[in-house]
Structure 1
Amino acid sequence: MQELRTLIARHAGTKRPATVHTHIPGLVVSASYEPTEPIHHVFEPVFVLVAQGSKNVMLGDTAFKYGSGEYLVVSVDLPISSHVESASTDKPCQSVGLMLKPATVATLLLEIAGNAPSIPESNLPGLGVSKAPGELLDAVLRLLRLLDRPKDALVLVPSVERELLWWLLSGPQGGMVRQIGLADSRLSQIGHTIRWIQASYSETLRIEKLAEMARMSVSTFHRHFRAITTMTPVQYQKQVRLQEARVRLLSQQEDVAAVGFSVGYNSPSQFSREYSRFYGVSPGRDAIRLREAAIRTTSS
């Protein structure tokens, strides 16, 4: 664990909070030196290991906390609220993340057919937290060591990444990881509709169309969508709309009503009401606060 922390500090920096996308595709290291406010964003399929400190994520009304030596797996695009819970200047919260690519998971599943570990079916939300075994920590450590050896990384990264996936498949989150690579899995079918909602969040939601897209009956679609996301499709779309609205309020000079219309709200009052309920502050006041915080961060 100490070597993991040293490598993360080296590549994430030691002066300010940072999330660094490394030269290894899909590999991210991050460090935070104080607890943070909740950030709402959409997680793609990813593996995240905490080396020090602790983080908290909210999926709907369900909280998941994970700390040093524990890892998070997200198996489908989910609108999540996350924040650093425990961090200080002396003991920053440090983590390493790796995107989980469906094609890579599928290739490994084909290669190990007949020799696969016993993997339970996943009927839980598309997110889980577990304690990392020594074998998994060792694979993550060797992946980080390759950041300092780019020539070796070109040859060795695929094999180390494959080993890391093997230990994930062998662990308690193996069911979710397996479904990432199965094109005909329930997770993949629901994931197809989730990606449509994300790309078309301003459109009117038609459940029958989504169920047909997932090749399920309406009742079956509802049941599996809620099991994976902990939300109904309407609730999911609302979170995606509000998260996109917040990004637009920060990055664009549109007024509040225009932002609401752009993400699919026909009523400014409904937009303001739902935004205030979700973020705890009106969209206008939140935009001012976000811009002031961005200016302070840039000037420091």
Structure 2
Amino acid sequence: MTAGLDKFARLIEQYCPSTGRCDTDIPGVVLLRADKPMEPVNVVYQPSVCILASGEKTAMMGESVYVYRPGQYLTVSLDVPVLGEVTVATPEKPYLCLRLDLNTKVMADILMEARENNVVPSGRQPGPALQVSDAGPELIDASVRMLELLATPRDIPILAPLIEREILYRLLNGPQSVRLQQLAMADSKLNQVSRAIEWIKKHFREPFSVEVLAREANMSASALHQHFKAITSMSPLQYQKQLRLQEARSLIMVNAMDAASAGYHVGYDSPSQFSREYRRMFGAPPRRDVEQLRLSSSAGMVEVA
């Protein structure tokens, strides 16, 4: 396991030589690196698995906190707002991570075949949208072989899908099997909550009731609230608020929009309420927060999701 993890780290360092996000020629595979601890960053995580080779990172979803270390992986089963922070990283021992998008079609195909052969355990309760587990030598070995393909690009179209399938099979047969199976099943509670999340993402600027959202998810209001909270660690309205504030922050930072206009654009009628909730989430009023972000950016603090 230690030798495999060392090789995994060396490959990520080779193909991601500087801090930040490094896209690869393998579809769905991104490498992430940080050479020093990073400031907490609010981002929306998408369905993926993050396999850590070196360093340490903390992810906070609602009131739940997840820490993952070398030889562990974090899975994300829904689009969820997360506060992420690289907590352990040095130039000699950087934070190094491989992120692979979760392909639900491939996962469904694996489940269908695996269940015919009784090689994947089944269950009903999906659990939280984030979860951390130990990777094990088989998953690390498959990740190493995936990165080794970068040295022979002509092999990627043929071999990368086979290794991706192996990685997903290991995940579906691992400690998070029940929750990941729910992700691949169209009629699961996880996918019903996912439909509610997609609706919120499209209409986050608008007020809505849980009853309207429940109809979109084809659930009762009480069931939606219960499962939404269990999976995302927040209520639908809290989820909407986080999307609103992250979008407003982006408008102020990228488009140079003033705070009042940004708040109105994302659905706030009261500038004072917007400023109050913005400060509560980001730790400073809009103008000061954006100034701090720009200073961090100029100092080389690059976001590592």
Provide TM-score, normalisation by structure 1: 0.96
Residue number in structure 2 paired with 1:11? 15
What is the 5 A alignment of 1:1-300?
A: 1-13=5-17, 16-115=18-117, 116-297=119-300
- CA–CA separation in structure 2 for the residues paired with 1:59 and 1:120: 24
- CA displacement at 1:272 relative to structure 2: 0.2
Per-residue CA shift, 1:66-91, capped at 9, x if unaligned?
A: 10000000111111110101001111
Instruction: Specify the SS of the correspondent of 1:40.
Output: strand
- CA–CA separation in structure 1 for the residues paired with 2:187 and 2:167: 24
Per-residue CA shift, 1:88-121, capped at 9, x if unaligned?
A: 1111011101000222211222232322411343
Per-residue CA shift, 1:172-191, capped at 9, x if unaligned?
A: 11112111111111111110
Per-residue CA shift, 1:161-209, capped at 9, x if unaligned?
A: 1110111011111112111111111111110110111122101122111
- CA displacement at 1:122 relative to structure 2: 3.3
Q: Give the structure, 1 or 2, with the largest relative contact order (CA under 8 Å, sep 6 or more).
A: 2
- CA–CA separation in structure 2 for the residues paired with 1:25 and 1:243: 27
- CA displacement at 1:257 relative to structure 2: 0.1
Specify every segment of 5 or more residues in structure 1 that has no aligned partner in the other structure, as ranges. Answer: none
8 Å CA contact 1:119–1:169 kept in 2: the answer is no
Q: Residue 226 of structure 2 aligns to which amino acid in structure 1?
A: R
- CA–CA separation in structure 2 for the residues paired with 1:248 and 1:17: 25
8 Å CA contact 1:241–1:264 kept in 2: the answer is yes
- CA displacement at 1:259 relative to structure 2: 0.3
- CA displacement at 1:291 relative to structure 2: 2.3
Q: Percent sequence identity over matched residues? A: 40
Q: Residue 18 of structure 1 aligns to which amino acid in structure 2?
A: G
Task: Provide the aligned C-alpha RMSD in A.
Answer: 1.3
- CA displacement at 1:136 relative to structure 2: 0.9
Q: Residue 208 of structure 1 aligns to which amino acid in structure 2?
A: E
Specify every segment of 5 or more residues in structure 2 that has no aligned partner in the other structure, as ranges. Answer: none
Provide TM-score, normalisation by structure 2: 0.94
Instruction: Specify the SS of the correspondent of 2:115.
Output: coil
- CA–CA separation in structure 1 for the residues paired with 2:227 and 2:216: 13
- CA displacement at 1:158 relative to structure 2: 1.0
Instruction: Specify the SS of the correspondent of 2:292.
Output: helix
8 Å CA contact 2:108–2:185 kept in 1: the answer is yes
Instruction: Specify the SS of the correspondent of 2:300.
Output: helix
Instruction: Specify the SS of the correspondent of 1:191.
Output: helix
8 Å CA contact 1:119–1:170 kept in 2: the answer is no
Instruction: Specify the SS of the correspondent of 1:112.
Output: helix
Q: Please, which moves more after superposition, 268-277 or 279-288? A: 279-288
8 Å CA contact 1:47–1:100 kept in 2: the answer is yes
- CA displacement at 1:294 relative to structure 2: 2.7
Q: How many residues align?
A: 296
- CA–CA separation in structure 1 for the residues paired with 2:20 and 2:287: 28
- CA displacement at 1:149 relative to structure 2: 1.3
Which 4+ runs in 1 deviate beyond 2 A? 110-113, 119-123, 291-298
- CA–CA separation in structure 2 for the residues paired with 1:150 and 1:111: 29
- CA displacement at 1:293 relative to structure 2: 2.7
